[in-house]
Amino acid sequence: MSAKKVIAVVGATGAQGGGLVRAILNDKTAEFAARAITRDASSPKAKELAKLGAEVVAADVDDVGSLTRAFAGAYGAFCVTFFWAHFSPEKEMAEAANMAEAAKQAGVKHVIWSTLEDTRKWIALSDNRMPTLQGKYKVPHYDGKGEANKIFLAKGVPTTLLNTSFYWDNFIYFGAGPKPGPDGVLALTLPMGDKPLPGIAAEDIGKCALGIFKAKGEYIGKSVGIAGEHLTGAQLAAGLTRALGREVRYNDVPPEVYRSFGFPGADDMGNMFQFKRDFNSAYVGARSLELSRRLNPELQTFDAWLQKNKSKIPLE
């Protein structure tokens, strides 16, 4: 039997959870063991994690019984929901409640809940600067997570609320990267005006989470905000230009134009960027670069991330 403390990781085959599993397995102090939670232990990604040394356990965030079994005996649990799989804040809240209940039943000592702001604390539903979406949200994929914070707290689960940031990986996988304009010049389209956007290498979220678990309870009951850098659209475009060796312009559009782009969730994303632009000092101020680097000394800058990932950014 291993004497290592087990961290059960939801979303282990994905960006945030995968980063944490790899961080645990690569940690030279070997303080923790990684329990990778997946719906399908026989998938190639799950098998890859098993090969790296993770214990792979099947569970579904929609099934509290499966989560309770998967959390059994664990010291810690990393909890995350998957908004873009269903676009429903209510479902995210129900899934958060399942994870909080499972953590309570299993007696988990430290939960990290990967959350985001409930933007309605800054912008009331009656405020017409941005449309209300799905009847009662301003930024659905933020508000449900933020509202779910209180579920963990109400159940008395020892929790750290981890406020994450925009993944730079969205330039690869989410269609948010630079695209050629009518003149053929690449343009990075973001409705951020001249305000900085907290961003992070997705892989660094898990590394920061490991730093939180290693801090022996210091962050239980606290909110921690993380980012790799706070860069304006112009600075992001300049970084892309340097890395790609090809001009990338910042195309600053109004949020209402972004909302009209028509891809699924464009209205939610447009509201999100507007929230980050219009409440910029609060949003940026909640994500300390210094603390992020203390938790994760390998924290990447945008330039460092680009050097590793620029060839994966689709440009046409």
Ligand X SMILES: NC(=O)c1ccc[n+]([C@@H]2O[C@H](COP(=O)([O-])OP(=O)(O)OC[C@H]3O[C@@H](n4cnc5c(N)ncnc54)[C@H](OP(=O)(O)O)[C@@H]3O)[C@@H](O)[C@H]2O)c1
The verdict on 305 binding ligand X (CB under 6 A) reads no
User: What token pair was written down for 133?
Assistant: 């979406």
Closest distance of CB 133 from ligand X, Å: 14
The verdict on 13 binding ligand X (CB under 6 A) reads yes
Q: How far apart are CA 240 and CA 233, in angstroms?
A: 10
Q: Which residue type occupies 225?
A: G
Using CB under 6 A, count the residues that bind ligand X: 26
Instruction: Give the one residue of 4, 30, 40, 312 binding ligand X; rule: CB under 6 A.
Output: 40
Site for ligand X in 133-172 (CB under 6 A): 141, 164, 166-167, 170
208 with 279: CB under 8 angstroms?
no
The verdict on 113 binding ligand X (CB under 6 A) reads no
Instruction: Tell me, rounded to whole angstroms, the distance of Cα 79 from its chain centroid.
Output: 11
Collect contacts of 282-285 with beta carbons under 8 A, ≥24 apart: 282/122, 283/117, 283/198, 284/196, 284/198, 284/230
The verdict on 61 binding ligand X (CB under 6 A) reads yes
Closest distance of CB 146 from ligand X, Å: 11
- What is the DSSP pairing of strand 248-252 with strand 186-190? parallel
Q: Which residue is nearest to ligand X (CB)?
A: 14
Instruction: Give the one residue of 9, 21, 35, 38 binding ligand X; rule: CB under 6 A.
Output: 38
- What is the DSSP pairing of strand 229-231 with strand 197-200? antiparallel
Among 93, 82, 36, CA closest to 59: 36
Applying CB under 6 A, which part among 83-91, 132-140, 181-189, 252-260 lies near ligand X? 83-91
Q: Which residues bind ligand X (CB under 6 A)?
A: 11, 13-17, 38-40, 43, 46, 60-62, 80-85, 141, 164, 166-167, 170, 174
